[in-house]
Amino acid sequence: MKARKKPIEVLAYRYFNVNIDEFLKLLSVNKNEPVRYDEDTKKIYIKKPRGEIALNYGDYVIDEINTDYSFWFIDKDIFYKTYERIPNTIYCYKKKVYDVDCIEFKSLRYKDIVKVLDFLGYKAKEVFEIIQRDDLVDEIKNQGYLTINTLEGALKMYPTDILIKGVNGEFYPVKRENFDKVYDIIEDD
C-alpha cells in the first residue's frame, strides 16, 4: 500500500542547548507517559504504552497536537527531510507532502503476520528460514503484537495498526486512527 503524508501542522522542539529542567518539565505534561533523563548519555526517555522511546541530543521532539496529543521523537536528519518551518513562527512546522510504503497489520492470522514480516524484510525462502519464521509467527500470535525496532526504540504493533517505511528506510508503527489523520491512501493492495 502507498500513502501520502498530509501537510498538517505540528509543534517541534530541538533538543539542543536547552535548559534541561524546563525541557523535561515540558515533556512531563502527560502523566501517563513518564519521562526520565540519563545524565551520562544525555538521552531523554518517554515510557509509552507500546514501549519506551529515546531522544538523542540534537534530535527533535514533535508535539502531536493533531493526532494523539503525545510527544514523539524524530532523528534530526529525517526531521529536515520531512518538515518545514511555517514562516514567521518559532516552533510551528508543517509536514512536507511525500509518499511512503506501508502495510496494515490486519490480524493475528498466519498470512497477515507473514505479510508484515515480508514487508520488514524477513522473507523466508529456504526450509530452515521458514521454520524460524513459523516460530516467530507463533510467538507473535501468543503475545498478541509484533515488536518493531524503530530509530527511537522498540514499539509494540497491534492488529489494525499501520507499519510505515520512512524516508530513510526506517520503520515505525502508527495506530490506524492516527494514520487516517496524517496520511491519505493513494494506492491500496
pLDDT of 84 over the 90 cut:
yes
| Per-residue cell: 52 | 519506551
Mean of the per-residue pLDDT values of the chain: 93
Task: Tell me what pLDDT residue 128 has.
Answer: 67
pLDDT of 130 over the 80 cut:
no
Q: How many CB atoms are located within 10 Å of the residue 10 CB?
A: 21
Task: Tell me what pLDDT residue 44 has.
Answer: 98
Task: Tell me what pLDDT residue 189 has.
Answer: 72
User: What's the CA gap between 19 and 21, in Å, rounded?
Assistant: 6
User: What's the CA gap between 111 and 29, in Å, rounded?
Assistant: 41
Count of residues making up the chain: 189
| Percentage of the chain lying above the pLDDT 90 cut | 81
| 0.95 exceeded by pTM | no
Residue listed under C-alpha cell 517505511: 165
| 112 CB burial (10 A radius; 0-12, 13-18, 19+) | middle
Q: What is the mean pLDDT of residues 41-57?
A: 96
Contact between residue 179 and residue 165 where contact means Cβ atoms under 8 Å apart: no
